[in-house]
Structure 1
Amino acid sequence: MGEGRPLLLLHGLFSDARTNWIRFGHAQRLAEAGFEAIMPDLRAHGHSARPYDSAAYPSDVLVRDAKALVAHLHLGDFDLAGFSLGARTAVRCVLSGLAPRRLVLAGMGLEGLAGWNRRSAFFIDAIDRFAEVKHGDPAFFAVSFMKTQKIDRVAARLLLQAVDDTVESELGGITMPTLVLCGEKDRDNGSPTALAAALPNATIAEIPGTHMSSVTEAALSEEMIRFLTA
């Protein structure tokens, strides 16, 4: 969407481009601000393929996919932003060689990068107990979102095992200007303040909302625009 500066947007787990970036007006605001919003559906999400073969989910497969897309579109001078799983993927993309001008990490804290095994185990448990999770269960909202998004649980389970951890000592390699952007009540992925402190060239901004509700806030894209056009 848009015809300006390329901005690759990576959505969150169990979401898709439409839910994360289009439904609540973020892509439109970004396009109006002079960006071309490039919004893939991640593997096993949205309109993308959902293979059941474990060989289709090698280590860091989402990073491989993002780098393949950048190469396919011949993106040279571009910006990169991700929300939650998309932010985790964006970090690993940079560490594996992608060089966006600016980087936005939304819905992410320091512990969410290095503690993926714990987060992954939580979502795998939600998938495995899908039919029995009731209101009040810690997995209730994850299961409800999977139902809303019509997630293919077999493919999602395979994907969850193909995401690698990023340890704090690696973050020194992310040298471009970076915005850590998080809902004021969102600590699902740990501390955004600690993440910003661990990055060499980061600023932090808070917007209203929790991990789930912050995506619905116009402030999400407004803060992105403020940072990307500074």
Structure 2
Amino acid sequence: MANSPIEPRFFESIDGARLAWRELGEGRPVVLIHGYFSDATTNWLKYGHAEEIAAAGFRVIMPDLRGHGASAKPHDAASYPPDVLMEDGKALVAHLGLSDYDLAGYSLGGRTVMRMLVNGATPRRVAVSGMGLDGIVHTQGRGAYFHNVLTNLGSFKQGTSEWLTEAFLKTTKGDPLALLRVLDTFVDTPAEALSTIRPPVLVVNGVDDHDNGSGEALAAALPDGRYASIPGNHMSAVMKPELGSTIADFLAA
């Protein structure tokens, strides 16, 4: 793991929102996008994934999504139009002047990566984790689950999935109002649009992660998709060293 905290840097996205990113390592750029309720530090730094990827020769670039982490968390609906997370991702790539780079994401970060791909992003290689086909083509299914959690905080029985999700929200000090708005940004990607994605894509999921549908089905829907499994479910796979090493090995191949 990184020995000391990495301070965020900031840029202004397309609407002037002040968004944060962190960097680790030197070499070929790879942008890693975290999941919903999380942030770059929790998703990529805490369990050593960014360090593993950096050690493979990469400049690891880790944004905090709008509404998360050190990035702006406005509460007004106008700040969360459909696909704004995709636009933010493309804005960061443009801000950093990246033309030859790789792209990876976990959960909502994986969905954001897929939205970037079908909207003109041209990375060399792509890794998507914690995401299945259902979570790409039918975003509101999972969105409804999170809407229920965020609008009924404090009401869930200990040990339930909803209780665990709320507990994770507390650990990341998430802003419930901003995170509710983030749900408005979700956009479905039609299966036919997936057939237009050209870069090789690795889908790597926890063997017990079924939260967003089938990772194997997502890989099969892509022209150059492949699938790998690692230990864990949706919440625990991100803690496993295999996540970072599998992504690093794929990107470095």
- The TM-score normalised by the length of structure 1 is 0.98
Could you say which residue in structure 1 is the equivalent of 2:4?
Answer: none
For 1:209, the aligned partner's letter is G
- The answer to whether structure 1 residue 223 and structure 2 residue 250 are counterparts is no
Deviation at 1:136, TM superposition (A): 4.6
Could you say which residue in structure 2 is the equivalent of 1:160?
Answer: 183
- The answer to whether structure 1 residue 108 and structure 2 residue 131 are counterparts is yes
User: CA offsets, 1:94-116, max 9 Å, x none?
Assistant: 10000000010101110111121
Q: How many angstroms apart in 2 are the aligned matches of 1:106 and 1:203?
A: 12
Which 5+ residue runs of structure 2 have no aligned equivalent? Answer: 1-23
Q: How does 1:91-170 map to 2 (within 5 A)?
A: 91-170=114-193
- The TM-score normalised by the length of structure 2 is 0.89
> CA 1:218 to 1:138, structure 2 compared with 1: closer, same or farther past 3 Å?
closer
How much identity, in percent, do the aligned residues show?
Answer: 49
Report the count of equivalent residues. 230
Could you say which residue in structure 1 is the equivalent of 2:208?
Answer: 185
Deviation at 1:138, TM superposition (A): 3.9
Q: How many angstroms apart in 2 are the aligned matches of 1:113 and 1:79?
A: 20
- The answer to whether structure 1 residue 75 and structure 2 residue 98 are counterparts is yes
Deviation at 1:201, TM superposition (A): 0.2
Could you say which residue in structure 1 is the equivalent of 2:8?
Answer: none
Q: How many angstroms apart in 2 are the aligned matches of 1:138 and 1:203?
A: 29
Which 5+ residue runs of structure 1 have no aligned equivalent? Answer: none
SS in 1 for 2:168: helix
Q: How many angstroms apart in 1 are the aligned matches of 2:123 and 2:243?
A: 20
The alignment's C-alpha RMSD in Å is 0.9
Deviation at 1:131, TM superposition (A): 2.0
1:195 maps to which of 195, 202, 218: 218
Could you say which residue in structure 1 is the equivalent of 2:16?
Answer: none
User: CA offsets, 1:97-143, max 9 Å, x none?
Assistant: 00000010101110111121111111011011002122254411111
1:89 maps to which of 112, 122, 127: 112
Deviation at 1:226, TM superposition (A): 1.3
Could you say which residue in structure 2 is the equivalent of 1:21?
Answer: 44
- Whose helix proportion is higher, 1 or 2? 1
Q: How many angstroms apart in 2 are the aligned matches of 1:51 and 1:16?
A: 16
Where has structure 1 moved over 4 Å in runs of 4 or more? none
SS in 1 for 2:228: strand
Q: How many angstroms apart in 1 are the aligned matches of 2:161 and 2:32?
A: 29
Q: How many angstroms apart in 2 are the aligned matches of 1:183 and 1:51?
A: 33
Q: How many angstroms apart in 2 are the aligned matches of 1:209 and 1:43?
A: 27
1:42 maps to which of 65, 73, 86: 65
Q: How many angstroms apart in 2 are the aligned matches of 1:136 and 1:10?
A: 28
Could you say which residue in structure 2 is the equivalent of 1:7?
Answer: 30
